[in-house]
Homo-oligomer: A and B are copies of this chain.
Amino acid sequence: MSRIDGRTPDQLRPITIERGWSKHAEGSVLVSYGDTKVLCTASVTEGVPRWRKGSGEGWVTAEYAMLPRATNTRGDRESVRGKIGGRTHEISRLIGRSLRAVVDHRALAENTIVLDCDVLQADGGTRTAAITGAYVALVDAVAWAREKKLLRAKGQPITGGVSAVSVGIIGGVPMLDLCYEEDVRAETDMNIVCTADGRFVEVQGTAEGAPFDRDLLNQLLDLGTLGCAELDEIQRKALEGLEG
A residues near B, CB below 8 A?
A: 22-25, 28, 35, 39, 41, 43, 45, 63, 65, 67-74, 77-80, 82-90, 92-93, 97, 101, 114, 116, 118, 120-123, 190, 194-195, 197-207, 210-214, 217, 221, 225
Establish whether residues A65 and B79, one from each chain, have CB atoms under 8 Å apart when the complex forms: yes
Instruction: For A206, list chain B residues within 8 Å (CB).
Output: 97, 201-202
Question: Given the interface contacts A22-B121, A83-B82, A89-B89, does A101 sit within 8 Å of B45 by beta carbon?
Answer: no
**Which residue of B is nearest A122, CB measured?**
B24
Identify whether the interface residues of A are mostly helix, strand, loop, or mixed: mixed
Contact at A86–B93, with CB atoms within 8 Å?
yes
A213 CA / B55 CA spacing, docked (Å):
30
Cα A228 to Cα B208 with chains together (Å): 20
Give chain B nearest CB distance to A155 CB in angstroms. 17
- Complex Cα distance, B86 from A83, in Å, reads 11
- Beyond A23-B35, A86-B92, list 9 extra A-B contacts (CB 8 Å): A24-B72, A39-B67, A68-B114, A68-B116, A74-B116, A85-B89, A200-B205, A201-B206, A214-B221
Question: Which residue of chain B has its CB nearest to the CB of A114?
Answer: B74
B-chain residues with CB within 8 Å of residue A35 when the two chains form the complex: 23
